[in-house]
Structure 1
Amino acid sequence: MKELAHNKTSEPSLSKLNLWVMAIATGVVVANLYYNQPLLGKISAEFGVTEAKAGAISMLTQIGYATGMLFIIPLGDMLRRKRLIMFDFVLIIISLLLAGFAPNIESLMIASFLIGATSVIPQLLVPMAAHLAKPEERGRTVGFVMSGLLIGILLSRTVSGFVGEHWGWRAMFFIATAIMFALWGILFLLLPEVQPSYKGNYKSLMVSLVHLIRTEPLLRLASARGALCYATFGAFWTTLVFLLEEPQFNAGSDVAGAFGLIGAFGALAASYMGKLTDKRDAFQITTITIALIVLSYIVFGLSSRSIAGLVVGVILMDLGVQATHIANQTLIFALLPEARNRLNTVYMFTYFMGGAAGTYLASHAWHVWKWNGVVAVGLSFSVLALLIHTRFLKRNREIRAIPTVNTDETTLN
């Protein structure tokens, strides 16, 4: 397997404008994955299908994203990053148009999978920011870009809920198409280029993913934590709209979407955790953030008839999930600088498969046991994440800081 050591040629500097462009772009693109969640009730009604079948749209979007992560993101180590991003935008636009014109639920499911598979640009931009950042500022830089992504995730629901309530669910996909056209032009003008460091072929590139999984225990830990935590996230947001449509609330998609504004506070607070991981024990911080997710589901269990309780639970859950995610990515980006896109591929593939599992199980739990079933799913995943995390710490007491790597000497064989 041929691999170049870290390229010593000068890289473009990471300016504040570059950083802001990356943060905004990650938020706007990742929003494509979540527009459908507040709209599931309206989609279910239009096509005459059950809520569980409508929930499959969200699940397939996440599976698509995991698939795109697996087959597209490793190319970021092999091809020029900006050129890859520009081409991928064309595929995103086609996928959004297919969703907007979908004549039936099956067509919408296929389009949703494609939207997920193509909207992987944020996972090219986050490693790019980490690559261009100074080592002592990497956690803060990742946290800043991730803040844009996290706010995009949460506000996407607010926007789509409002659009769906006033203009129908199809309008959201057409609006998203126009946004992608505009963003393509902005990134073409302002995004820096990063030269690839990997000189092998695509087959060896994909084989190297298996090597990374086998040889990097911290990558396995971060992936397991991320998948389980994101499963709790998908479980809640997919079924929230169904809960709010129940007689005790009688709310529409706009109210479900408005919860994204509440979750944005958690995302903003989570960005602060990126700074802490540069200075404090990241493992201790992660213990706290996973415990917040467990607490949030206890609150959800007591709040099936309380908007105030749901609000408190959303803040706790989003803070816990997003802060854990930032800590995980800061951890893996410090392992092998020349393999950051592949490390991120392993992590994010696992992450979104976890989200898909949470979405699937929660949708079916809702169908059978309603909100109590959803809470049971979320509690199970979050408690398991905490157990895996603490067990790893007990077995590896010597690991108390993110490892550093000599980037001039390290190669992946």
Structure 2
Amino acid sequence: MTDLSTPQLAQTPHVLTRGLVLLFAFCCGAIVANLYYAQPIVELIAPSVGLSAHSASMIVSLTQIGYAVGLLLLVPLADLLENRKLMIGTAIIASVGLLAAGLTSQPNLFLALSLLIGFSSVSVQMLIPLAAHLAPEESRGRVVGNIMSGLLLGVLLARPISSLVADHFGWRMVFVAASLLMLAIIVVIALTIPTRQPAHKATYGQLMGSLLTLLRTQPVLRQRALYQGLFFASFSLFWTAAPIELTRQHGLSQTQIAIFALVGAIGALAAPLAGRLADAGHTRRASIVAMIIASLAFLLSCSGPGYSVIGLALTGIFLDFAVQMNMVLGQRAVYALDPASRARLNALYMTSIFIGGAIGSALASPLYEAAGWLVIAMAGAALPAAALVALLWFGRQR
């Protein structure tokens, strides 16, 4: 039996060139965008497929739950099976799920497909550990940060692209076009991404059992997962509720909401900066700064009469910046724990994050319908503040 904790890595002759880093970044952004296309257009999708206003945010929440389940059950296989074939297989399922979502009119089927889309979009979290394997130790944080910029641009650009397409061609075209994009990504992965066959020889049961061992023995993993889970709950809460607030209280069209969401893409600039700070040993201090920025950002959304669009936009920019910074800081710390277990470490880290995101999305519609934007802002500010308290507590314990 192979000891899954032993750092056995399959050797690869490939060098991580700048062009390959850009390619990884593009693929990550295009795949992760599947999770966010529905976020700004739930108000259009829900009545079309027969969902109530209170249930609309379940579309986003189930997509994130599916992603969390895929992270837990599929991503660890990247430490066992050949990576490129695994990524192609999951991408094919994602393409089929997106196309079916664009064609259905049944509420339960649409929710099930949302779950499937999230579940099958996890190949992005196989690409990032692969890049970490190929990158030299001294520049790993910078490489991961640059690739995360592509992923985070996918997260942030998915919303404005979705709003624009829905405004001009209908919401169904968003999913059909995303399906076609996934087919193109499959071709790119097949032709350009290097193969990697892990050296581990174990059963799937042994692989999954090792997850519990990693979670039990790696306090840094548990702590960084908690911080980012709270961050992502705040992030998802804001970006699921903000389009509803902009539509109902400010009368913005889908195209105008797209411009609003595009402004938030400025936050992706945090990823390369965070990678460099992590490489320089400033993870803790940079994390504290990110948590303070995220919490205070929500005050801006409550400024001015009627909670101005400008205040909401500033909240989006600073919140995105802080979330992306803390994400990269956490990944750099987690990847350094055990090179042979990076896919499984990443799976555990990202699963907790998207559980937080799913909770934030699920709370958005009920909280907004019950109490309006002020409660959304209060809850959003409290989550990163809780992360800061946890970080200070763990530091004091050490």
* Alignment TM-score, normalising by the size of structure 2: 0.96
Secondary structure of the 1:199 match is: coil
The corresponding residue for 1:275 is: 276
Task: Go from structure 1 to structure 2 and tell me whether the alpha carbon gap of 1:48 and 1:87 turns closer, same or farther (over 3 Å shift).
Answer: closer
Equivalent position of 1:259 in the other structure:
260
- Give the 3 Å change call, closer, same or farther, for CA 9–157 of structure 1 in structure 2: closer
Offset of 1:271 from its aligned partner?
Answer: 2.2
Equivalent position amino acid for 1:131 in 2: H
Match of 2:139 among 137, 144, 160: 137
Equivalent residue for 2:83? 81
Contact 2:231 2:323 in 1 (8 A): yes
Matches within 5 A, 1:16-31: 16-31=18-33
Task: Please report how far the alpha carbon of residue 11 of structure 1 lies from its aligned counterpart in structure 2 after TM superposition.
Answer: 4.1
CA distance in 2, matches of 1:223, 1:305: 32
Is the contact made by 1:12 and 1:193 (CA closer than 8 Å) also made in structure 2?
Answer: no
Aligned residue number for residue 293 of structure 2: 292
Q: Any residues of structure 2 matched to 1:63-142 within 5 Å, and which?
A: 63-142=65-144
Indicate the residue corresponding to 1:164 in structure 2: 166
CA RMSD of aligned residues (A): 1.4
Looking at structure 2, the residues matched to 367 and 263 of structure 1 have their Cα atoms a distance apart, in angstroms, of 24
CA distance in 2, matches of 1:130, 1:120: 17
Give the direction of change, closer, same or farther, for the CA distance of 1:392–1:341 in structure 2 (3 Å limit). Answer: same
Change (3 A) 1:8 1:83: closer
Residue equivalent to 1:409: none
Letter in 2 for 1:250: G
Superposed counterparts of 1:346-361, under 5 Å: 346-361=348-363
- Is the contact between residue 38 and residue 254 of structure 1 (CA under 8 Å) also seen in structure 2? no
Q: Which amino acid letter does the alignment assign opposite residue 287 of structure 2?
A: T
Instruction: Report the Cα offset of residue 385 of structure 1.
Output: 0.9
Q: CA deviation at 1:254?
A: 2.3
CA shift, 1:260, in A, is 2.6
Map 1:237-386 → 2, pairs under 5 A:
237-247=239-249, 249-302=250-303, 304-386=306-388
Are 1:150 and 2:152 an aligned pair?
yes
Deviation at 1:7, TM superposition (A): 3.1
Unaligned runs of 5+ in 1: 397-413
Q: Check the 8 A contact 1:227/1:350 in 2, yes or no.
A: yes
Q: Which residue of 2 aligns with 1:2?
A: 2
- Pairwise CA distance, 1:257: 2.5
Partner Cα distance (2:335, 2:140) in 1:
9
Q: 1:10 to 1:124 in 2, by over 3 A?
A: closer
The partner residue of 1:199 within 177, 198, 201 is 201
CA shift, 1:10, in A, is 4.3
Equivalent residues of 2:24, 2:127 under 8 A apart: yes
- Does the CA contact (< 8 Å) of 1:22 and 1:125 recur in 2? yes
Identify the match of residue 218 of structure 1 among 220, 228, 234.
220
Equivalent residue letter for 1:124: M
Separation in 1, partners of 2:283, 2:157: 28
Name the CA distance, whole Å, in 1 between partners of 2:248 and 2:233: 23
Measure the CA separation in 2 of the matches of 1:281 and 1:157: 32
Structure 2 unpaired stretches of 5+: none
Q: Quick check: 2:10–2:199 contact (8 Å CA) kept in 1?
A: no
CA–CA separation in structure 2 for the residues paired with 1:118 and 1:8: 25
1:135 is displaced (CA, Å) by: 0.3
State the Cα distance separating 1:295 from its structure 2 match: 0.8
Distance 2:13 2:71 in 1: 25
Distance 2:163 2:258 in 1: 5
Q: Shift in Å at residue 263 of structure 1?
A: 1.4
AA aligned opposite 1:276: L
- Choose 369-378 or 231-240, whichever is displaced more: 369-378
Find the counterpart in structure 2 of residue 49 from structure 1: 51
Q: Indicate yes or no: 2:178 matched with 1:176.
A: yes
Percent identity over the alignment is: 35
Question: More deviation in 133-142 or 5-14?
Answer: 5-14
Q: Conserved in 1, the CA contact under 8 Å of 2:48 and 2:105?
A: no
Which residue of structure 2 lines up, in the alignment, with residue 402 of structure 1?
none
Gap change, CA 1:159 and 1:214, over 3 Å in 2: same
Tell me the alpha carbon deviations over residues 285-311 of structure 1, each in whole angstroms, 9 at most, x when there is no partner.
110011111011122233653111112
**Length, aligned pairs only:** 395
TM-score, length basis structure 1: 0.93
Cα distance in 1 between the residues matched to 2:50 and 2:252: 20
**Which is further off, 293-302 or 70-79?**
293-302
